[in-house]
Structure 1
């Protein structure tokens, strides 16, 4: 077997070292991620430059890159909190969040890669306890779910706005009350519904009776006005008008003028 030329060995070593250097000096950032550069022989985390964007990058082999996902992510939390009267409520909620891309280096420097456990979870738990503690179990069960969702979002956002994290939404999926409390609330709601239904029927009947009374009173008032206006003179005039109309009829008749009880003409005979 022939020996390799002496010059070949250094070349091979150089190629191997070059491959190692290139491997250590390159980094590829995936879609939806950003890289935080750490300079080992510099000032550490680079915060005065934009983070490394998506794609291929060459860095010094002694430096490091910490990759963060900057897309929207979801945190699901199941918490036990207390209502305003001290009853334990189970809350199932989700938070949609993402690191602020431009501040991801500061996030890494001040909070670290486990910022979810250090910042976001404590923030949403604190906000949930504070908000739920303002309401009774009945309010939480019936009409205040949208309100507590909005309030938890606002309080959590106030905390995270200064932590280089963008909070997009908080969703309350479920509010679970103790079974005994839930049953009592449902019974109360049914009773209230039945009471409202009874009041509606009673009000409807009252309005119908009032309508009948108004119509009867209207008829009575109309009759009274009519009776007051029908004097003897008016009746005679009406009788004369009616007699003249009958006299115009084509049927055979006999008109006796002045023979009625009130001096009105009498009409006798027809075909």
Structure 2
């Protein structure tokens, strides 16, 4: 085996050292990520400078970079057990949309660490959900107040995590599970209330129709009264004569006797 030239061995060593140096002194941060720099000999976590953004970065080989996902993320808390205002156990399915605050990433890493989800968000959402749900009855949770409860959980949790360098984007109450007996009782009550409202609606509709008919009848009666008062004997005779004259123009054979009818009205004889 041919021995390496004396000059070749140092070059090989330098190349190996250079490769190790580059691998230790560089970091590539992907899309939707950011890096927190830890200076081994320079004060630890860097909190007074912006986090390292996406792309390739050169660092001192004795330092380290902790990479965080800065995109919006979701944690799903399933079957979270809480108590209603009257002490009944309720099960909630809640989704939380969150992300770390980019400008506070160094402080988040320094004070909470990479497992900030289980240190900050999960405990806070559980505590707030128990507090908020405890103000409401099962019926309110099941029907009318669900959106209000969701908003309250979001607002109160947001206040708590904002100071811990986490951005809360939304809290979504996916499902509310009540004890079966309570759920059935609520559904029966809601059905009865709906039927009662429907019955009241029909009664009100009938009242309005009766009122409409009464007003219509009163109007017709008033019109008849006015008409009757205006129809004198003289006017009736005049209208009868006008009608008789119109009939006399008909081509059918007839005999008209003027003044022979009741009240002196004409008679029409010999209609064919």
Q: Which runs of 5+ in 1 are unaligned?
A: none
Q: Following superposition of structure 1 onto structure 2, how do residues 71-150 of structure 1 map, counting pairs within 5 Å?
A: 71-78=71-78, 79-150=80-151
What corresponds to 1:151 in structure 2?
Answer: 152
TM-score by length of 1: 0.87
Q: Distance in 2 between matches of 1:184 and 1:52?
A: 57
In the alignment, what sits opposite 2:251?
A: 250
Cα offset, 1:108, TM superposition: 1.1
Q: Give the root-mean-square deviation of aligned CA atoms.
A: 2.5
Aligned partner of 2:227 in structure 1 is 226
Q: How many residues align?
A: 271
Structure 1 residue 29 displacement after superposition: 1.6
Q: How far apart, in 1, do the equivalents of 2:163 and 2:180 lie?
A: 40
Deviates more, 1:41-50 or 1:133-142: 41-50
3-state SS, counterpart of residue 249 of structure 1: coil
Instruction: State the Cα deviation string for residues 62-84 of structure 1 (Å, max 9, x = none).
Output: 11111111111111113222222
SS in structure 1 of the partner of residue 98 of structure 2:
strand
User: Structure 2: how far apart are the matches of 1:251 and 1:6?
Assistant: 147
Change (3 A) 1:251 1:187: closer
Q: Per-residue deviation at 1:13?
A: 4.1
Q: In the aligned structure 2, how far is the partner of 1:71 from the partner of 1:256? A: 107
Give the TM-score normalised by structure 2. 0.87
Unmatched runs of 5 consecutive residues or more in structure 2: none
CA distance in 2, matches of 1:20, 1:249: 126
Distance verdict in 2 for CA 1:22–1:210, change over 3 Å = same
Q: CA deviation at 1:47?
A: 2.2
Alpha-carbon deviation of 1:43? 2.3
| Equivalence for 2:170 | 169
Once residues 198 and 139 of structure 1 are traced to their aligned partners in structure 2, the CA distance between those partners, rounded to angstroms, is 24
- Secondary structure, counterpart of 1:181 in structure 2: helix
Report the CA distance shift for 1:37/1:261 in structure 2 as closer, same or farther (over 3 A): same
Residue in 2 that maps onto 1:203:
204
